């Protein structure tokens, strides 16, 4: 029953996420991240990224009162133009964090120095989240 | 709004000389943000400058 409901609610996503690394609930994210941090060297990129992840997730979700979100972390995503963006500590044994061009919101353009509306960044984590409606878990 | 990426930003290394040979000259900052994957337009090739620390050029010519 659960799987059929989830299947029905699925929408088409233009971005193809591949290689699921982790999945966790937003309400136990702190616990999950603390546990994961123990497995990495403090100077590794994945460690510093994880330290920041929760902070920014909290900011991102602060406008919603719900915290029944499930967050999936993937190591790669394919954009609509076919480019593959990676954020992984182990791509055939090597770390690969893609550098990307990000189009800035036109309202924010005057706040930053940009390269003709583009800012550059390095992807630390790729995540996909969905809202887990507990009602569908009640059989 | 389901597809997100945690991004660590680059900024221009110098406000006065933003470009070298037509390429943006950047430094990696400690600023992070969660952005929508929709806003990511492409992969870019960013190369560290030889013998310098935290000094990068966006490769606009050879990709």
Q: How many CB atoms lie within 10 A of CB B51?
A: 6
**What tens digit of pLDDT does each residue of A49-74 get?**
888 888 888 888 887 777 678 889 99
A136 and B CB contact within 8 Å: no
Average pLDDT, stretch A17-30? Answer: 88
Q: How many CB atoms lie within 10 A of CB A116?
A: 6
Q: Residue A139: what pLDDT?
A: 45
Give the CA dihedral B4, A43, A86, B18, nearest 10 degrees: 80
Tokens of A131: 């809202």
Find the helix packing angle between A45-61 and A29-37, rounded to 10°.
Answer: 170
| Chain A residues with CB-CB distance to B45 below 8 A | 99
Quick check: helix, strand or coil at residue B22?
coil
pTM: 0.83
Q: Residue A37: what pLDDT?
A: 85
ipTM for this model: 0.91
Exposed, middle or buried, A139 (CB in 10 Å: 0-12/13-18/19+)?
A: exposed
Tokens of A96: 């690969």
B51 and A CB contact within 8 Å: no
Q: Residue A10: what pLDDT?
A: 58
For residue A80, report the phi and psi dihedrals to the nearest 5 degrees: -60, -30
Average pLDDT, stretch A82-97? Answer: 91
Q: Residue A138: what pLDDT?
A: 47
B4 and A CB contact within 8 Å: yes
Quick check: helix, strand or coil at residue B48?
strand
A136 has a pLDDT exceeding 70? no
Confidence tier at A8 by pLDDT (50, 70, 90)? low
- For chain A, the three-class secondary structure string (H helix, E strand, C coil) is CHHHHHHHCCCCCCCEEEEEEEEEEHHHHHHHHHHHHCCCCCCCHHHHHHHHHHHHHHHHHCCCCCCCEEEEEEEEEECCCCCEEEEEEEECCEEEECEEEEECCCCCHHHCCCECCEEEEEEEEEEEEEECCHHHHCC
Q: Residue A11: what pLDDT?
A: 62
CB A101 within 8 A of CB A79: no
Residue of B nearest to A46 (CA): B6
Distance CA A83, CA B44 (A): 10
Given A56, A83, A85, which is nearest B32 (Cβ)? A56
Average pLDDT, stretch A22-44? Answer: 85
- Domain extent listing, chain A: 15-91+124-133
Percent of chain B with pLDDT over 90: 71
Q: Residue A128: what pLDDT?
A: 84
Average pLDDT, stretch A7-32? Answer: 80
Average pLDDT, stretch B34-51? Answer: 92
Average pLDDT, stretch B11-25? Answer: 92
């Amino acid at each position: 029953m659960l799987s059929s409901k989830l299947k029905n609610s699925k929408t088409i996503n233009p971005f193809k996420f591949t290689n699921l690394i982790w999945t966790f609930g937003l309400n136990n994210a702190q616990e999950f991240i603390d546990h994961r941090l123990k497995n990495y060297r403090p100077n590794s990129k994945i460690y510093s990224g994880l330290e920041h992840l929760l902070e920014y997730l909290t900011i991102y979700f602060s406008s919603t009162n719900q915290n029944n979100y499930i967050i999936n972390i993937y190591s790669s995503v394919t954009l609509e133009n076919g480019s593959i963006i990676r954020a992984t500590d182990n791509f055939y044994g090597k770390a690969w964090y893609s550098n990307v061009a990000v189009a800035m919101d036109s309202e924010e353009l005057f706040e930053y120095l940009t390269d003709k509306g583009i800012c550059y960044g390095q992807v630390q984590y790729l995540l996909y989240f969905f809202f887990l409606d507990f009602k569908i878990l009640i059989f | 709004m389901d597809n997100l990426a945690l991004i660590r930003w680059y900024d221009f290394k110098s406000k006065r000389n933003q470009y070298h040979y037509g390429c943006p000259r950047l430094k990696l900052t400690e600023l992070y943000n969660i952005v929508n994957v929709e806003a990511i337009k492409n992969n870019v090739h960013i190369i560290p400058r030889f013998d310098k620390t935290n000094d990068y050029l966006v490769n606009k010519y050879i990709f």
